[in-house]
Structure 1
Amino acid sequence: MTSNNECRLELKYYSEDGEEGYPGNAEKYLEIDETGAITGKAISCENTDFDFRGKKEIGKDINASDRQLELRNGYDYPFIFNDNKGYIVLEDRESGRGLKVETNNSSVVIYTTNYPGNKQLTTGEMLKVRGVICLETQEPPIESNGMFIKDSTLVKNKKYSKETKYKFYNNIT
């Protein structure tokens, strides 16, 4: 990206009505328990409210009577990629704007601002429940029981190399 003027870059992606997205090659997500801790159980996304393998409005199933969605008041889950390269796509079908994220991390946490608190955005507007989507490319979160700690441990004399690429585009036709 090149800018011909000095400007501030915030790597956030604001969701609006009609936003569609999918963690392209993620077929499983990690279950949480009643305390909010990840259990370690990977659940298939197929034919569930977590199935974003094709284009689907993010809000389509967010209010479904799914216990996992109820526990977090929306999406706040690690989706596990199938391959060494994961990708996520968000598109606004009305404006044509989009974001494609590629990473060599093994998961992406998709968070839908389920508990915004009393926060003001740089635009002056107040943050709304499910008004913003956050994509956190990472290894699965380390839980209090030490689960997934091996995935986030740096090994002495071994190079650590992870990357995430953001591609913004506009498909105006």
Structure 2
Amino acid sequence: MQIDQQPFGQTGSGAPVTRYTLENKNGMKAGILDYGGIVQSLTAPDRSGGWADVVLGFPELDGYLTEAYLEGGPYFGAIVGRFANRIAGGQFSLDGKVYPLYINNGGNALHGGKVGFDKKIWKAVTRESDREAVLELSYLSPDGEEGYPGNLEVTVTYTLNNENALRIDYRAVTDQKTVINLTNHAYFNLSGGEDTVLHEMLTVDADRFLPIRPDQIPTGEIRSVAGTPMDLRQPAMLGAQMLEPDEQLGLGHGYDHCWALNVPGDLSRLAAAVYDPHSGRQLEVFTTEPGIQLYAGNFLDGSLRGKRGESYGPHAGLALETQHFPDSPNRPEFPSTVLAPGREWRSTTVYRFSVR
């Protein structure tokens, strides 16, 4: 196992950014930036032994700083927080006090605000052993940042092992009661960018999903997937399953929904899987989180170009965002996202690659 680090440009304010490349004994590599904790590249083998980069991103830092990228907000590969996903009306209350947030998604708050964790420089520490390569990123989010209460100390640890698995461990503590919901927003394309994800086969271990309003805020209901295009309990071709118009479910352009996993908190239970029949690559997802948001790159419009100069159009990648449910701070019936002083918030997700 080894870790290389190289300069990866400077932010608009002149802060240097470093890319850390974790490599296992098989030759699998994960390129991760200390800017936003971005998974900038991730290679995986196909059934013929060929390697390809299976995440969307840019070859240089400038790609993550352009006006088109920042306005479009795809969050390629980034850590998003303090609160991943949407909070209705851009506000929530704790102990009777209302906390207004930055509104950046219609009338709602999305993925931490104007300058969320995806745009911060994180402090990096590396560790290597015969079995794994580790990159530990830490950031102190001050009280009031983006409207959230409490000084929040966050650590996100990326670990690449020799089983071709990238593990992400999240840890946070606060000095005031606050809310937290972190995830990684990598977009996977198991063809290595040779095709869209529409032909990939998707499975989710969930009997229920969260219906949404037109502004993509959950209605509060947790509904059975049975008899709907949300039923992914058996492998289904992504394009055939999600592109059938269904006004009630908000379908027609693709998935951007949250599924309630059948066995929340169990890291040994498969949460989701994606299989690319052409390359033979398979991605398995394991998580301690209660939900997973599937976003099929519906709003990518071709204006952004990737690491090989390819255009990122609709469905160029699929995000598998393990997390608590959207708008949980305003939904007491959902699993709580409140973190109090003296408590430690932890979460783990594993992305494991194989071929068949």
Same fold, judged at TM 0.5 (above): yes
Q: For the Cα contact (< 8 Å) 1:140–1:151, is it kept in 2?
A: no
| Residues 1:135 and 2:320 are matched in the alignment | yes
Contact 1:99 1:166 in 2 (8 A): yes
Partner of 2:167: none
Please identify, of 3-12 and 131-140, the stretch whose mean Cα deviation from structure 2 is larger. 3-12
Equivalent residue for 1:69?
250
Pairing partner for 1:46 from 226, 229, 248: 226
Could you tell me whether the CA contact under 8 Å between 2:209 and 2:259 is conserved in 1? yes
The answer to whether the 8 A contact 2:324-2:335 is kept is no
Q: Give, in whole Å, the separation in 2 of the partners of 1:157 and 1:121.
A: 43
Which is greater in Rg?
2
CA shift, 1:83, in A, is: 1.0
Letter in 2 for 1:156: P
Count residues with an aligned counterpart: 168
Distance 1:18 1:88, change over 3 A: same
Inter-partner Cα distance in structure 2 for 1:130 and 1:112: 5
1:56 to 228, 231, 236: 236
- Cα separation, partners in 2 of 1:38 and 1:6, compared to 1, 3 Å: closer
Contact 1:28 1:81 in 2 (8 A): yes
Query: Which residue, 156, 168, 172 being the options, matches 2:353?
Result: 168
Q: Judging changes above 3 Å, is the alpha-carbon distance between structure 1 residues 42 and 49 closer, same or farther for their aligned structure 2 residues?
A: same
Q: For residues 31-89 of structure 1, what are the alpha-carbon distances to aligned partners after superposition, in whole Å with 9 as ceiling and x for unaligned? A: 1112322111112111211110001101112221311234x731000100111236110
Given that residues 213 and 219 in structure 2 are in contact (C-alpha distance below 8 angstroms), is that contact kept between their aligned partners in structure 1? yes
User: Contact between 1:62 and 1:69, CA under 8 Å: does it hold in 2?
Assistant: no
The runs of 4+ residues in structure 1 deviating greater than 6 Å are none
Q: 1:13 aligns to what?
A: 188
TM-aligned CA deviation for residue 126 of structure 1:
1.1
**TM-score, scaled relative to structure 1:** 0.85
Q: Matches of 1:5 and 1:104 in 2, distance apart?
A: 25
**Of 156, 159, 166, the match for 2:344:** 159
Specify the alignment match of 1:123 in structure 2.
308
CA distance in 1, matches of 2:346, 2:277: 34
Q: Secondary structure at the match of 2:222?
A: strand
Whether 1:2 aligns to 2:37 is no
Structure 1 residues 30 and 7 mapped into 2: Cα distance closer, same or farther (>3 Å)? closer
**Which letter maps to 1:75?**
Y
Q: What is the CA–CA distance in structure 2 between the aligned matches of 1:139 and 1:42, rounded to whole Å?
A: 13
| Deviation for aligned residue 1:6 | 7.4
Measure, in 1, the Cα distance between the counterparts of 2:214 and 2:351: 34
Give 3-state SS (helix, strand or coil) of 2:250's partner.
Answer: helix
The structure with the greater share of residues assigned to strand is: 2
What are structure 1's unaligned runs of at least 5 residues? none
**SS of corresponding position for 1:90:** strand
Identical columns (%): 21
Secondary structure of the residue aligned to 1:61 is helix
Secondary structure of the corresponding residue to residue 60 of structure 1: helix
AA at the equivalent of 1:142 = D
Matched letter for residue 18 of structure 1: H
- Name stretches of at least 5 consecutive residues in structure 2 with no aligned partner: 1-22, 32-40, 43-185, 190-195
Change (3 A) 1:7 1:18: closer
The 1:139/1:17 distance shift into structure 2, 3 A limit, reads closer
| Residue 111 of structure 1: aligned partner | 295
Map of 1:81 onto structure 2: 261
In the TM superposition, 1:145-156 aligns within 5 A as 146-147=330-331, 151-156=336-341
The one-letter code of the counterpart of 2:344 is K
Q: TM-score, normalised by structure 2?
A: 0.43
